């Protein structure tokens, strides 16, 4: 998870929610995971990606080159193809 700035409005708002999610990650860490990383994202950097890769050892990482924080808009078609490919690789 990204390091939240202590005392920031974001931390006060999202802190409890993110802590709740964090506490349950061990329950799903062994599941297959597809991780997207938008290389132009200013909020989630390479350190965050490495963190998620360590949480989900059974992962595939897909780098969305040129996409920013709203990668769903920037690289929607590319993401759909990656999801389909990943899903087919774990199905059955």
Token reading at 10: 């974001």
The Cα diameter of the chain in Å comes to 46
Helix (H) or strand (E) holding 17: helix 9-23
pLDDT in the model for residue 10: 58
Provide the mean pLDDT of the chain.
88
List all residues 6 or more positions away from 91 whose beta carbon is below 8 Å from its beta carbon: none
Round to whole Å and give the CA distance between 87 and 92.
10
pLDDT in the model for residue 65: 97
pLDDT in the model for residue 8: 60
Q: Global pTM?
A: 0.79
Least confident stretch, 15-24, 34-43, 46-55: 15-24
Round to whole Å and give the CA distance between 57 and 86.
15
């Amino acid at each position: 998870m990204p390091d939240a700035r202590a005392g920031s409005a974001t931390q006060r708002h999202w802190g409890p929610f993110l802590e709740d999610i964090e506490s349950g990650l061990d329950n799903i860490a062994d599941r297959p995971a597809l991780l997207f990383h938008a290389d132009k994202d200013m909020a989630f950097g390479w350190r965050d990606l490495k963190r998620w890769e360590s949480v989900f050892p059974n992962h595939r990482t897909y780098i969305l080159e040129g996409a920013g924080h709203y990668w769903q808009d920037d690289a929607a078609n590319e993401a759909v193809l990656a999801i389909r490919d990943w899903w087919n690789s774990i199905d059955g």
